[in-house]
Every structure is written in C-alpha cells, then in structure tokens.
Amino acid sequence: MKLMKTCLTALISSLMIFSPMAYADKWSDQFPHIKATGDIPGDCSYEKMSKKNYKGKTLKINTHAIPVMGEPTALHAEQFEKLTGAKVEVTHTPAGDLYSKAMVPFQAGQAPYDVVFGFSNFINDWKRYLAPVPKKYMNSPEMKDVTKSHMGVSSWDGTMYQYPVDGDRHYLKYRKDVIDNPEMQKKYKADTGNELRVPRTWKEYAQMAKYFNDWDWDGDGEKEYGSAEVMKKDDLMFAAFFSRSVAYAKNPRTPGGFFFDLETMKPNINNPGFVEALTDWVEATKYVPPGGTNFGLGDEIGSFGGGQTLFSFSWDDAFIAAMQDDSPIKNKVGAAPLPGADKVWNRASNSWENQYNQAPYIVWGWAVGVAKKSKVKDMAFDYLCFFSNGANHQADLAIGRFGVNPFKNSDFDPNIYINSMGWDPEIANSYTQTLLDMEKSNNRVFPLRVPGVFEFTSAVATGTSKALAGQLSPQEALDEVAKEWEAIVSRVGKKAVQDAYAVGVKMEDNKL
Amino acid sequence: MNFKHKYFFLFPGLFVLIGILIFPIIFVVRLSLSGWNSYNPGLDYIGLENYIRLFTDDPRFWESFFRLSFLSVTTVILQYVIGFALAHMVWKDIKFKRFFRVLFLVPMMTTPVIMTVIWRTFFHESLGPVNDLLSVFGVAPKWLTDPVVAKFTVIIVEVWQWTPFMFLLLLAGLLSLPREPFLAAAIDGASPVRKFIYVTFPLMAPISIGAIIIRLIEASKIMDTVYVLTSGGPGTSTETSSFYIFIKGLREFQMGYAASMSFTYLIIMIISLTIIAKVLTKVLLKE
C-alpha cells in the first residue's frame, strides 16, 4: 500500500511538473522564440490566439525601425498571422519620425495605420486620436500585473490610451568587475584618497569616470573610458539631461512641479539645480570615449555593452546587451539607482539644501495605441495583448536589442533572469531590486506629458547641446531654454499646458 | 475660322502645373498664415504672426541660413574645381578613359542616406577606420564632435557625393566644344595652361554657369547629410535652413511656423540665386 502511495504521489508530481512543459512544447516547437518558457497560459496566450479567426482581415502597424521595438513588432506580427490567419502589414519608421508619421494622418482625419507605436510622452497629443483600451483587456490578469507606475504612464487621468508593452526608467550601469575588485579599490584609494564604490553622487561618478578614462583597465589590449552617455543632439539627449538633473532639482520637500512651478507655470529649467546638472554634464565630455559627444542611444548601448566604458546610464538596453550570451562582459556588470547629490535646490526658499538627495526618473518609453478610426480595433487590441503575453514578454526581455524592458510586477522576480538567461544571482538580484526600488520611491520624476511636448524637449536638446559644444555656458544655455519654454507655453495657452502638467505632477507628488 | 478649341489642348499641362506647383505654393502661403501645430490642427488665421516671429525673434533661423550659405558655396566651389579637373582629365585621350568616366559617376549613383551612414561609420571617432589609420601619425581629428571640424566633415561628404554631377555636366560641355579654336591655339604654339585659360575656360563659361547654378540650388537644400551625419550638432554648428525647417515642421509639428520659414527661404533663394546668376554671367561671360 505504501509503495502504491509513493508511486501514485510520484506520478501525480511528475504530471504536475511536466504537464506545463508538454503544453508549452506544442507551441515552442512551432515558435522557437518562446523555447525557454513555452506558452504561458493567459488571455492572449498562443493557445487562446490560435482559436481566433481573422482570415481575410488586414492589420496595419507603424512601428520603429529594426531592431529596437521594430524587430519584436515584426516577429509577433508574423506569429499572430500564423495563429489567427490575419494579414499584418508592418511599416518601420525612424524614431524621430514616429510622431509625425501618425500625427499627419490623425490630423487629416485618416487612419492609414491601425496600430501606432511611439513614445509614452506623446500621449497628450495623441490621446484624442486613440481608442481607449477596452475593459476586457483592462481586467485581464496580465494587465493587473502591470506596475502602478506604468499604468500611470500609459493612461491619462484614469483612462488608458496606450497599451503597455514596455517599461522604461533610467538607472546606473557599472562594471562590477572593476568597482568590486579589491585590487582596483586599493589602487584607486592610493591614487585618489577616495573609496571606489558604486557612486552615490554625480560628483563621485565624475571622479571615478575621470580616473578610469583613457587607459586599458581590463587588460584586453584596448583603452577603456569613463562613461558612455546619450549626448547626440536630438537623439533622446534631453532624457539623459533630465536623468542628471533629478538629483539636484527634484526636491521631495517642494511638491508642485519639477519642470514648471505648477501654480505660475514659470519654468524651473534654468534654476541652479538644473544648471549644476548641466555643468556636470559639460564636464562629462572629458571622460566619454572619442566621439562620445555624438553618441546616440545605439552608440551608448554598443559602447557600454561592448565593454568600452566603466559607467553608463539610460534605459535597460545597454545593461541587457552587456548581459547577453555573446557579450564580452556578461556577468561583469551591475545595476544601481541613478547617482544622487549632496545638495538639492529648494525653489521655494531659493537656496540649496545641503543634504543627500536621490530621485528616480521613470522616463518615457515605448508606447503603442490603436487608432480611434481603425476598422479592426478588436484585432488590433488582440495583437497588442498577444505582443505582451507572458511567453512573448519573457522571451523579449532577454534580448537587449528588442528594447522591451520590465513593466510587470512579475518581472521583478530575479529567478526569471537566473534560470532562463543565465545571469549571476547577485546581478539578477541587484537588477530587480534597483527597478523595484524605483517603483517604490516617493521622489520619482515622470516624463513631461503636455500639449506640444516635442517643442519643449526639442528646446532642451538644442540648449543643452549648445552647452556641450561650448557655444554657450550652462546658465546661458538654460536661460535660452527657459525663454523658449515660456514662449511655447504662451503659444499653446497657459491653461492647456497647466491642466495637462497637473496630471503628471499628481503622479510625482504621489497623489494619483 | 474659330480656333478656340485649341485652348483645350493646354488643359492637361495647366492642370498638372496647378496641381504640382501652383497649389502647393498657395497652400504653403496659406499655411504660413495659420497657427497649425500639434495641439491646434487646422487652418485658422493668425495674420503675419509667424513672419513677425521669424524676423524679430528667431536668430537660429538666420544663423542656420548663413551657415547654409557657407556650406553650399564652399561645396559647390570645390565640386566645380574637382569636377572640372576630372572632366578635363577624361576628355583627353588617356588609357582606360571609359572606365574612369564610369568610375567617377559611382558616388552619384549611390543612395545619399546610405552613403552618409557609411561615412558616419568611417568618421566615428572611436570605432571608425579613418581615425584608426590616422592614429599611426598620432592624430585623431574630432570629425563629428568639434563644431568647426564637423562643418568640414559635412563638406567632405557633400563634395564626394555630388562632384560626379558637376563632372558629368562639365564633361558633356567639353565634348560639345568646337575643335577649331583648339587647332588655332595649337598652331599658335599655345602651352596647355594658356590653352586652358584662354580657350577651354571661356568656351566652357556658359555651361559652367549652368552647372554652378544647378548645384547651388541643390546644395542649398542640404538636409540628408546633416540629418544622418550630425543631426545639426555639435550644438547647432552644422544646422542648415532646411534641417531647421524640418525640425520645426516635422519634429515639433509647428506646421504654420515651418511654412512661413519655407516661404521666406524660397523668396530669399530666388532673389539670391538670380543675383548670383547675373554676377556669374557678368564675370565669366564678360557681358
């Protein structure tokens, strides 16, 4: 009897353990992309999608160029076609033109694309042309798993217009094999008198980056450099600048706006906090690789991911690229919150507060919506739901060039990265903990999401790039930006900008 | 006899002219009098507000215009000199003349954006082969990150891409020249240099003026090279008028304002190119 019981238990256990795999294999044989996990049950799983019939219907998608976001869009479109019989036409567009490619037909009352990819900060300009995400999807278990921050980023005043497919934030990436290396720590201490550790402030970041600049510190026969950053004009550089500014200018004791004073709509962009950050950034041009001041996001990913620099900060992509199997620095990198500062500007008292401050930047990221005028909205939402189903999402997370980053609570389980991606447990833990801490912080900065957002960010890119090129001093450059921002507010209408900005401020002040 | 029906034959041409030339210009003028932007789409009427802003509160437009003038004049002069030299070379009876004629045209046949991406890779300061080679001599120019050098990088790429066009026009001109003046010069014992200065160059003047003007029109629209190579940076050091209009129109979506800049730019170009053509005619043809 005891033997029978044991056999029965073993049989049931085996069935429980292996049945998901058997289920998974059915789909992973056909779709190798999900071979690590197989299909994961859910509302938009492979199994569920295979039961839909969209034969004779065509879905038109405008997405980013390959690979970042463009490659997973095309891949999941192909899978969706095979599963549902639909025809999916994917158009690839450079990042800088995504806004206008959708906006021109939107304004002309047309919908040449059913699904449009863009950035989450387009939401204010795009929302009137997008269909809200239907309740059916809002109530799905997958959607319930999306973090509060990213539900907020995808929504406008409680209505979700952008389907979450990606989660973005800026954080610090560093070479763990250098920073944690006792020999390097000793050498650094002897040469500088300071501790070599994960930088807590931007000043420490600069000291270490300068020290490790322009010499072969990893013994590979080639010179390495201090930091890789997105500094190329108009190539997302404004986001890098905000990442450096939050430490000096986001004061938890002065709620009511990081970019503007919400009450007066006077720009904060040229206050001493932002000027200090830009001064640091100008200094950073001395410790980036040759040509580093012309680095776009792709260059930054390649530079840090290829082992060329000690530090980097921006989206996840460089970190994921560094942790891929083909990377020369796999399991040699660490993640940490953005550096802070030993002082923070108080715009209420108009003075510096000499205390440590750190603020996470939940930067805008990839977002996607369904055109209100689309004639195949159901299919479009099904496609998006399929795009980010459990299996696709986990597989996409493992591929740096895809640009798909964690945005679900379940993504912060380090075992995902340890088991399916071969990450060192310590690195996986520090990575997930860094992201999780940002979600929990009460001093977060969210992207600017106001009407005419591109005018504001373009003015920042122009002003800061003039400072980096030495055409203007940091104060002059930001004064110019502030003047331009005031002109934009006046053109758009103070009330329109103020009302929209208030939504973002509520999130920053933890009131939403 | 009533020949009124003959006017019907003009309609197809007029229709095309109105559709592809007159209507877009009128629409741009109308657009320039509106405040069309991302948050306020539509042809509202704001009078001359955009033009007032352009002339009184936008030094960046004028800076980009003067930068464009420098870049286009420099590139066209270099293209003319190099193009003339190459055309002169293959005009003569040299070995592999046909091969060189085709070879010199290759850059023009390539797609400008793709070639600029390749040039950007060449000039990449840490990964590109140009600085890798130059490091042997201990130099590493900041091709794309120094405000002055970056201008010359744009010039190099533009000259490489469009010299073949100049070469093609000038070679066609050289091949069509009459033989008699050259025979007369040879009988008089003129040296090759004197032959060039007193015979070839003056005979080529009309075609030179045409080639220069065509290239100036094209060069004054420098956009793709700047877009791919530098994005107008470092700072605004390589930003040209067309790139600036592109930023305002299609990046920031200030359609009304971008239209006012486009129309102003069109007027300036028509006036300045007419003056340049007159001056060149006067100088080269000694009218």
Please report whether residue A327 resides in a domain.
Answer: yes
> How does pLDDT run across A56-94, given as a tens digit for each residue?
999 999 999 888 899 999 999 999 999 999 999 999 998
* Nearest-Cα residue of chain B relative to residue A235: B231
Shared domain for A357 and A375, answered yes or no, is no
CB pair distance less than 8 Å for A452 and B124: no
Q: Is A463 left (phi over 0), alpha (psi -120 to 50) or beta?
A: alpha
Residues A152 and A45 in one domain: yes
Quick one: tokens of A42? 């859910």
**pLDDT: is A45 or A5 the higher one?**
A45
Average pLDDT of the residues in B192-205:
94
pLDDT for A15 equals 44
Which residues in A lie closer than 8 A to residue B128 (C-beta atoms)? 291
ipTM: 0.84
Token pair 């863009």 is at which residue? A118
Q: How far apart are CA A131 and CA A368, in angstroms?
A: 11
Output b/e per residue, B121-143; b: 16+ Cβ within 10 A. Answer: ebbbbbbbebbeeeeeeeeeebb
Expressed as residue numbers, the domain containing A335 is 171-362+443-508
Name the β-bridge partners of A341.
A357
Write out pLDDT tens, residues A340-386. Answer: 999 999 999 999 999 999 999 988 789 999 999 999 999 999 999 99
| A81 part of a folded domain | yes
Burial of B75 (0-12, 13-18, 19+ CB in 10 A): buried
Q: A115: distance to nearest CA of chain B, Å? A: 19
* A346, A449: one domain: yes
Q: Is residue A16 part of a domain?
A: no
Mean pLDDT of B162-191: 94
For residues A284 and A474, the answer to whether their CB atoms sit within 8 Å is no
CA dist A216 and A214 (Å) reads 7
Which pLDDT belongs to residue B95?
Answer: 84
B140: left (phi over 0), alpha (psi -120 to 50) or beta: beta
- A329, A307 contact by CB (below 8 A): yes
Contact A491 B125 (CB under 8 A): no
Q: Are A283 and A199 in contact (CB under 8 A)?
A: no
On whether both A276 and A332 belong to a single domain, the answer is: yes
In a domain, A148, yes or no: yes
**A22 belongs to a structural domain:** no
Q: Which two tokens stand for residue A89?
A: 């036409």
Q: Which two tokens stand for residue B267?
A: 């007027």
Name the domain count of chain A: 2
Say whether A172 sits in a helix, a strand or coil: strand
Per CB-CB distance under 8 Å, the chain A contacts of B56 are none
> Per DSSP, which regions of chain B are E strands?
none
Domain check: are A140 and A272 in the same one?
Answer: no
Strands A115-119 and A366-370: antiparallel
Q: Which of A377, A405, A433 is the last residue of a domain?
A: A405
CB atoms within 10 A of CB A275: 23
Percent of chain A with pLDDT over 90: 72
Q: Quick check: B253 and A235 CB within 8 A?
A: no
* Residue at A118 is within a domain: yes
Q: Among B44, B53, B63, B251, which would you mutate to test the A interface (most chain A Cβ atoms within 10 Å of its Cβ)?
A: B251
Chain B: closest CA distance from residue A290 (Å): 5
Return the DSSP state at A201: B
The pTM of this model reads: 0.86
> Does A219 lie in the same domain as A319?
yes
Q: Which residue ranges make up each domain of chain B? A: 59-285
Pick A496's closest partner by Cβ from B39, B250, B254. Answer: B39
Two structure tokens written together for B213: 């003007």
* Residue A438 belongs to a domain: no
> Which of A381, A405, A429 finishes a domain?
A405
Q: What is the mean pLDDT of residues A329-336?
A: 95
Instruction: Please answer yes or no on whether A234 and B145 come within 8 Å at the CB atom.
Output: no
Same domain, A153 and A195: no
Contacts of A305 in chain B (CB under 8 A): none
Per residue in A87-134, pLDDT tens? 999 999 988 788 889 998 998 898 999 999 999 889 988 999 999 999
Among residues A353, A377, A405, the one where a domain terminates is A405
Radius of gyration of chain B (CA): 23
Chain A closest-CA separation from residue B14 CA (Å):
27
Q: Which helix (H) or strand (E) holds A430?
A: helix A425-440
Q: Does A109 touch chain B (CB under 8 A)?
A: no
* Same domain, yes or no: A84 and A224: no
Q: Do A186 and A326 fall within a single domain?
A: yes
Q: A274 and A393: one domain?
A: no
Q: Does A180 fall in a domain?
A: yes
Q: Same domain, yes or no, for A125 and A268?
A: no
Q: Is B19 helix (H, G, I), strand (E, B) or coil?
A: helix
Interface with A, mutate which of B31, B132, B143, B231 (most A CBs under 10 A) = B231
Reported CATH class of domain B59-285: mainly alpha
CB contact under 8 A, B125 and A466: no
User: Taking CA atoms, what residue in A is nearest to B150?
Assistant: A294
Residues in chain B: 287
Using CB atoms, pick whichever of A234, A291, A451 lies closest to residue B231. A234
Q: Does residue A13 have a pLDDT over 50?
A: no
Verify that A226 and A356 share a domain, yes or no. yes
Provide the 8-state DSSP code for B260. H
- Asked whether residue A23 carries a pLDDT value surpassing 80, the answer given is no
Q: In CATH, what number is assigned to the domain containing residue A460?
A: 3.40.190.10
